[in-house]
Chain A
Amino acid sequence: GDSVTQTEGLVTVTEGLPVKLNCTYQTTYLTIAFFWYVQYLNEAPQVLLRSSTDNKRTEHQGFHATLHKSSSSFHLQKSSAQLSDSALYYCALQLSGSFNKLTFGAGTRLAVCP
C-alpha cells in the first residue's frame, strides 16, 4: 500500500543550527503532490510547503524542500533553526484519483533549544 515514512520521532537542534527532517514515501500509484504540515501546540495542522514538481526546490518561512522522485524523498530543511520552529511536522502525499485525501507520515517533533 501507500506509505510515508518519517524516520525520526524527535529531532533536537540548537537554535541557529541547520535542521533536516527526513521524509520518504512508497506508492505504486501516480502521485500528484507532496506536503509538509506543521502543528504547533494546541493548534490545527497547517500547510507549510507543497510541491508537485520533481527536482524543484520549494521554500516558505525559511524552510525548503525538494521533491526527488528518483529517491522517493521530500526532506524538509532549514539553514538556521529558531525557537519558534518547535512543533510537530508531518510529511504527506496526495495520490492521483484520491480526491485530495492525504496520506500522512507518523510525524516528527522538532525541539529547538537555546
Chain B
Amino acid sequence: DAAVTQKPRYLIKMKGQEAEMKCIPEKGHTAVFWYQQKQSKELKFLIYFQNQQPLDQIDMVKERFSAVCPSSSLCSLGIRTCEAEDSALYLCSSSGTNSAETLYFGSGTRLTVL
C-alpha cells in the first residue's frame, strides 16, 4: 500500500465549481509534489513544496489553482473554477530532503468535471 494517502479517491464537479483534494505525505518526508495525469498518460508536474513552502509551480497552477501545505502531515490542492480540461488523475508524491531520493506516490484523486 502507498505510504502517501490521498482523499477523496473520486471527485465529480460541475464546470465552474470549486474542487479540493487532500494529501498526507509519508511520515518524515518534507518534499511534496503534485502531478496531473490525463488518460493514463504523461505525468505533468504541477507544484512542489519543501517544508510547507511552494518552491516551484507551473503557470496554470498560479492562475487557477490553490495549493497549500500548512503542516508536514497534510497538503491540499484546489481548483478555484473547474473546467472540463481539468478532468484528470491528480497524484501527490513525497520524498525526503536528500538529493536523488525516490518519490513515493499516492493512489491519486480522479477528478471528473461535467
Contacts and interface: CB of A to CB of B under 8 A. Distances in A.
Contacts of B35: 104
Given A43-B107, A44-B106, A88-B40, A100 B45 contact: no
Contacts, number: 64
A37 to B, nearest CB: 8
Nearest to B101: A100
A86 interface: no
Contact of A99 (B40, B55, B104): B55
Contacts of A50: 102
B53 to A, nearest CB: 11
Interface residues of B, number: 26
B107 A100 contact: no
A33 B95 CA distance: 14
Nearest to B42: A106
Contact of A100 (B40, B41, B91, B100): B100
A96 B99 contact: yes
Interface residues of A, number: 27
B12 interface: no
30 contacts: A32-B100, A39-B40, A42-B107, A43-B107, A44-B2, A44-B4, A44-B91, A44-B105, A44-B107, A45-B43, A46-B104, A47-B103, A47-B104, A50-B102, A52-B100, A88-B40, A90-B43, A96-B99, A99-B31, A99-B50, A100-B95, A100-B101, A100-B103, A101-B45, A101-B48, A101-B56, A102-B103, A104-B35, A104-B42, A106-B42
